[in-house]
Amino acid sequence: MSFYSLHETLHQEIAKYQSRFFWAGEGDKQKYHMVSWPDICKPKDHGGLGILSSRRMNIALLTRWLWRIANGDGGLWLTIIRNKYLQGH
């Protein structure tokens, strides 16, 4: 997830499985949703459970790679990426 921008449908699928973990019922009985999913994804210090949104995590990881490329902090992998994809830039 850190190298690629994931498609919106994949983020929705991940969120669906995350929410099923919290809201799955027993057998044929279904649990009621006492809290909305956005509230569950809020940080703990803002009253949520701190569950990470795959969309936000994907953006954060991609941004970290861009930051490392821009600052030259990457070692061997950065040299390889620059030589392969960023020649002349």
pLDDT of residue 5: 85
> Cα separation of 68 and 55, whole Å?
20
In a domain, 64, yes or no: yes
Domain that holds residue 55: 8-85
pLDDT of residue 47: 92
Question: DSSP code of 44?
Answer: G
pLDDT of residue 9: 93
Is residue 5 packed enough to be buried (19+ CB in 10 Å), middle (13-18) or exposed (0-12)?
A: exposed
pLDDT of residue 2: 66
Structural domains of the chain, count:
1
In a domain, 3, yes or no: no
Is 1 within 8 Å of 64 (Cβ atoms)? no
In a domain, 15, yes or no: yes
In a domain, 2, yes or no: no
Q: Which residues of the chain have pLDDT under 50?
A: none
In degrees and rounded to multiples of 5, residue 73 shows phi and psi of -100, 85
In a domain, 67, yes or no: yes
pLDDT of residue 26: 66
Is 30 within 8 Å of 48 (Cβ atoms)? no
In a domain, 36, yes or no: yes
In a domain, 1, yes or no: no
